[in-house]
């Protein structure tokens, strides 16, 4: 039976790249399968076409019209909702087209932030699946928080973001501090959305998770125990190792310059600081980072950007500082000119692959964590928003695979005013992550080996990917019984 799946990624570059990568894995794993990605344009960009490759063979892309991109009119949720009519008509037309070719539309796979698109699957009598771009443990937290609320045991939105309380999470082996919950769970106006999304996740036929079984064995026990949750397929690490930016001439030149500088540095001597597509800091915090870098004495590559006005531009990208000499401590650029390089945009994958990089100060986005593990680069955790505080706790406390700068740090439009991270904290984290002989570094190298093996033929993730396709086919067959 020839089958087709529709994937609907969230309009964020990290989510779209992960979705593209798993789609490639799937079509390569089974000749019966074709995939169409329906791409919702970014809310903050009018030119998105260059970000996606051309359709090839059994992997196709359908870029929807941009529509209204006014941030004043649309929250992220309403922006996704506004594209429902386009998605509905596109899926309906695709279903008609492939049925004439002897194929079968076997289901819709939606991003973890696009659960409202499951309504379209229901309307068209199609199975719905989720591609979960975070980890199994955090998925378990979402289900657990919803169960606690529905059973009148605990309402985590009553916690404050500086609470010292802890509670048990079945996908973790140790008590979880409330202050490491994502900001969205502290806000009464957003918590109903958190609960509704968890309830939606329970209704799908299966959840593809971008993680590795050997990283989260305890979490997987929870999902195999009949807790009213759908099947979970750990198919990671799903990485787009070839994509670094848009591929524009200017970014190609910057990438070449950065890699040329790295090639001149000794092995494992450079600490790399990069905080994701939305990560930036204010002037005072930037100066603290500079002081820490200089005191540490380590060579550094620093992706430095100014935080956007997040109160008015929710999720908008950070800006560049216009004049670094006015922002950084006096004489810093001259004193560190031989050992440091400051950049704005960073080709993160290429940098992590460089043999000169010995440590990575990261915002703990899940893609960044997986990339660092893939290349065996130790990380220092400095989360900023979303579920990054949970990821930091998992990496530092649960797995012992990261050093800590401050795992409960947060900023963003839901977090209020961020507390300053001191130069002393940052320096300590840098020194810890650059210690190549530490137990943490040794554990990370072993985990890096395991996640490479997971994708090999017969590895945990390879087997899970094939099991997913098998279950998709079986779910379609059941409709004819």
Same domain for 199 and 62: yes
d(CA 396, CA 440): 9
pLDDT of residue 122: 94
Same domain for 256 and 235: no
Element (H, E) at 110: strand 104-111
218 neighbors 176 (Cβ within 8 angstroms): no
Same domain for 362 and 422: yes
Q: Which of 4, 93, 76 is nearest to 40 (CA)?
A: 76
Look up the domain containing 263 and give its range: 249-449
pLDDT of residue 44: 65
Residue 226: left if φ>0, alpha if ψ -120 to 50, beta else—which one?
left
Query: Is residue 393 in some structural domain?
Result: yes
Query: Is residue 167 in some structural domain?
Result: no
d(CA 350, CA 348): 6
Same domain for 342 and 213: no
Same domain for 460 and 445: no
Cβ atoms < 10 Å from Cβ of 218 = 14
d(CA 55, CA 39): 12
pLDDT of residue 86: 92
CATH of the domain at 308: 3.40.50.2000
d(CA 147, CA 143): 6
109 neighbors 7 (Cβ within 8 angstroms): yes
What sign does the dihedral 405-406-412-416 (CA atoms) show?
Answer: negative
- Look up tokens 């020194």; give the residue: 431
Whether the upstream peptide bond of residue 237 has omega within 30° of 0, thus cis, is yes
Query: Is residue 235 in some structural domain?
Result: yes
Same domain for 271 and 132: no
Same domain for 367 and 228: no
Domain count, the chain: 2
pLDDT of residue 318: 78
Same domain for 220 and 256: no
Query: Is residue 372 in some structural domain?
Result: yes
Same domain for 365 and 435: yes
Same domain for 371 and 293: yes
Cβ atoms < 10 Å from Cβ of 271 = 26
Same domain for 377 and 468: no
pTM for the full model?
0.92
CA angle 18–176–162, rounded 5-degree value: 100
Residue 315: left if φ>0, alpha if ψ -120 to 50, beta else—which one?
left
Residue 457: left if φ>0, alpha if ψ -120 to 50, beta else—which one?
beta
Q: Hey, is 148 helix, strand or coil?
A: helix
402 neighbors 380 (Cβ within 8 angstroms): yes
d(CA 213, CA 137): 11
Q: Hey, is 13 helix, strand or coil?
A: helix
234 neighbors 136 (Cβ within 8 angstroms): yes
Q: What is the DSSP string of 246-287?
A: ---HHHHHHHHHHHHHHHTSPTT-EEEEE--TT--B-HHHHH
Q: Give bridge partners of residue 340 from the DSSP assignment.
A: 300
Query: Is residue 173 in some structural domain?
Result: no
Give catalytic residues, as residue numbers.
Answer: 15, 111
55 neighbors 38 (Cβ within 8 angstroms): no
Same domain for 283 and 385: yes
DSSP state of 206: E
Query: Is residue 323 in some structural domain?
Result: yes
* Residue 420 CB contacts under 8 Å (≥ 6 apart), including other chains: 284, 285, 288
Do β-strands 128-132 and 104-111 pair in parallel, antiparallel, or remain unpaired? parallel
Query: Is residue 83 in some structural domain?
Result: yes
171 neighbors 222 (Cβ within 8 angstroms): yes
Do β-strands 166-167 and 176-177 pair in parallel, antiparallel, or remain unpaired? antiparallel
| Mean pLDDT per 10-residue section of the chain, whose length is 481 residues | 93 82 93 94 62 76 74 71 92 91 92 92 95 96 97 96 94 97 93 94 96 96 87 95 65 93 98 91 95 98 83 58 92 96 95 98 96 98 95 98 95 71 98 96 96 96 96 83 49
Query: Is residue 165 in some structural domain?
Result: no
83 neighbors 9 (Cβ within 8 angstroms): no
């Amino acid at each position: 039976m020839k089958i087709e799946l529709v994937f609907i990624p969230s309009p964020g570059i990290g989510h779209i790249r992960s979705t593209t990568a798993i789609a490639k894995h799937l079509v390569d794993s089974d000749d019966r399968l074709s995939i169409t990605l329906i791409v919702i344009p970014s809310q903050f960009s009018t030119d998105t076409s260059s970000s996606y490759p051309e359709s090839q063979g059994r992997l196709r892309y359908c870029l929807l019209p941009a529509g209204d991109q006014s941030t004043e009119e649309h929250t992220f949720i309403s922006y996704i909702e506004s594209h429902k009519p386009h998605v509905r008509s596109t899926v309906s037309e695709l279903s008609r087209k492939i049925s004439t070719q002897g194929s079968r539309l076997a289901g819709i796979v939606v991003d973890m932030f696009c659960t409202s698109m499951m309504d379209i699957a229901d309307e068209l009598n199609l199975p719905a699946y989720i591609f979960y771009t975070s980890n199994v443990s955090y998925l378990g937290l979402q289900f657990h928080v919803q169960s606690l609320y529905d059973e009148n045991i605990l309402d985590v939105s009553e916690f404050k973001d500086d609470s010292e309380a802890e509670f048990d999470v079945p996908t973790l082996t140790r008590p979880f501090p409330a202050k490491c919950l994502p900001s969205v769970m502290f806000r009464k106006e957003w918590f109903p959305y958190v609960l509704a999304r968890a309830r939606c996740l329970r209704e799908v036929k299966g959840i593809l998770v971008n993680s590795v079984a050997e990283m989260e064995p305890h979490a997987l026990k929870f999902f195999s125990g009949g807790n009213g949750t759908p099947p979970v397929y750990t198919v990671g690490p799903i990485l787009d190792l070839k994509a670094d930016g848009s591929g524009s001439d200017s970014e190609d030149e910057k990438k070449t310059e950065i890699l040329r500088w790295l090639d001149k540095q000794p092995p494992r001597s450079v600490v790399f600081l990069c905080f994701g597509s939305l990560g930036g800091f204010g002037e005072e915090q930037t100066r603290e980072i500079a002081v820490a870098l200089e005191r540490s004495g380590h060579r550094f590559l620093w992706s430095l950007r100014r935080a956007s006005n997040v109160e008015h531009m929710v999720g908008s990208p950070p800006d560049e500082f216009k004049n670094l000499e006015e922002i950084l401590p006096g004489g810093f650029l001259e004193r560190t000119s031989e050992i440091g390089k400051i950049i704005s945009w960073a080709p993160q994958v290429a940098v992590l692959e460089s043999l000169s990089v010995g440590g990575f100060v990261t915002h703990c986005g899940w893609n960044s964590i997986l990339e660092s593990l893939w290349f065996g680069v130790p990380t220092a955790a400095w989360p900023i928003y979303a579920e990054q505080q949970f990821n930091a706790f998992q990496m530092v406390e649960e797995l012992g695979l990261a050093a800590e700068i401050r795992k409960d740090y947060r900023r963003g439009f839901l977090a209020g005013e961020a507390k300053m991270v001191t130069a002393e904290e940052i320096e300590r984290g840098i020194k810890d992550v650059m210690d190549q002989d530490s137990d943490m570094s040794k554990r990370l190298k072993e985990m890096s080996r395991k996640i490479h093996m997971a994708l090999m033929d017969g590895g945990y993730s390879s087997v899970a990917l094939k099991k997913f396709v098998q279950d998709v086919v079986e779910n379609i067959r059941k409709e004819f019984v």
